[in-house]
Amino acid sequence: MSAAPAEARDILMPAVRRLQEGGVASPALDSRLLLGTALGLDRAVLPHETLAGFDDAAAAMFEAFLNRRLGGEPVSRIRGWREFWTLRLELAPATLDPRPDSETIVAAALAATDPGKPCRMLDLGCGTGALLLACLSERPDATGTGVDIAGEAVEAATRNAGKNGLSARADFVIGDFSDPDVAPGIYDLILCNPPYIPAGEIDGLAVEVACFDPRLALDGGDDGLDCWRAVLPRIAAGLSRGGRACLEIGAGQEDAVLGLAARAGLCEIGREKDLAGICRCLVLGLADNPATGAPG
């Protein structure tokens, strides 16, 4: 005789207590999402549901997921994917886990581009392809290329383009994003979210970041600016006259990055704050006269 269907509430209540006691910030939501994943669902389980499919295998999987979450692994890593903008994006060990703060860059990029005009986009350090694919999803006349030094990231971004119906307009290549010979040409929109965390601060970040995001995608050198020094000249060389670059920066980096941008021949067009009120995005253009910073 088969076991009686389980009540979700009876499974969730002890799980929530465990996560809460373990210091997890959102124990109820995380428990519901992980239970859904254990059941093969793409959604959170509701407490009032009756779960006919909660068998021994699902129970063991849910237990394993809870233990991983108690070890600090983000729910998105456990599930293997993240919702970003309007897209579902597969994660890989070599990619950052795209976070809501980065949607600030997408919003700024869309504001800087004409929805009715063809646009050639470049995403430097593309990771999952989050920034480029989100922009392409909103600009049907645009095409784009993503560059990442990690082959595993390029493979994940390519799969994400396919799963979101964007393969025909997006391609991804392996290479150093500061090298102008990688994805050469002139672009109307350049997106970049490079490693910008000072090396000495990484171990002090939240465990979800410090232990589960790839260090290569975080480490910006001693002052957090090494990648900016390398990539800003490449951005200036590849940006069209009248084009825009939308860059994600670390908290408090705006003045330093703008100083480096000016030396590369770029000027500030605007800046955008994230939901926490922190300046997260710089919008740059070519300077007609680098001495005065007049925009191109």
pLDDT, tens digit (0-9, with 9 covering 90-100), for 229-247: 999 999 999 999 999 999 9
pTM to 2 decimals?
Answer: 0.90
Please say whether the structural domain 91-295 has been given the CATH code 3.30.360.10.
Answer: no
CA 217 to chain centre: 11
Whether 94 has a pLDDT exceeding 60, the answer reads yes
Q: pLDDT tens for residues 27-61?
A: 999 999 999 999 999 999 999 999 988 999 999 99
Q: Are strands 187-192 and 239-248 parallel, antiparallel or unpaired?
A: parallel
Whether 24 has a pLDDT exceeding 50, the answer reads yes
In the chain, where are the structural domains located?
6-79, 91-295
Contact 264, 232 (CB under 8 A): yes
Which neighbouring-strand residues pair with 84? 87
**For 215, which DSSP code?**
G
* Residue 143, amino acid: T
What pLDDT does residue 294 have?
52
Half-sphere exposure of 37 (CA within 13 A, CB side): 22
287 φ, ψ (degrees, to nearest 5):
-90, 125
Which neighbouring-strand residues pair with 121? 144, 189
Split at pLDDT 50, 70, 90, the class of 16 is very high
Across residues 224-229, what is the average pLDDT? 94
Residues 189, 208: Cα–Cα separation, whole Å? 31
Q: pLDDT tens for residues 108-145?
A: 999 999 888 899 999 999 999 999 999 999 999 999 99
Q: Which helix (H) or strand (E) holds 176?
A: none
Across residues 209-214, what is the average pLDDT? 91
Across residues 201-222, what is the average pLDDT? 91
Q: pLDDT tens for residues 160-189?
A: 999 999 999 999 999 999 999 999 999 999
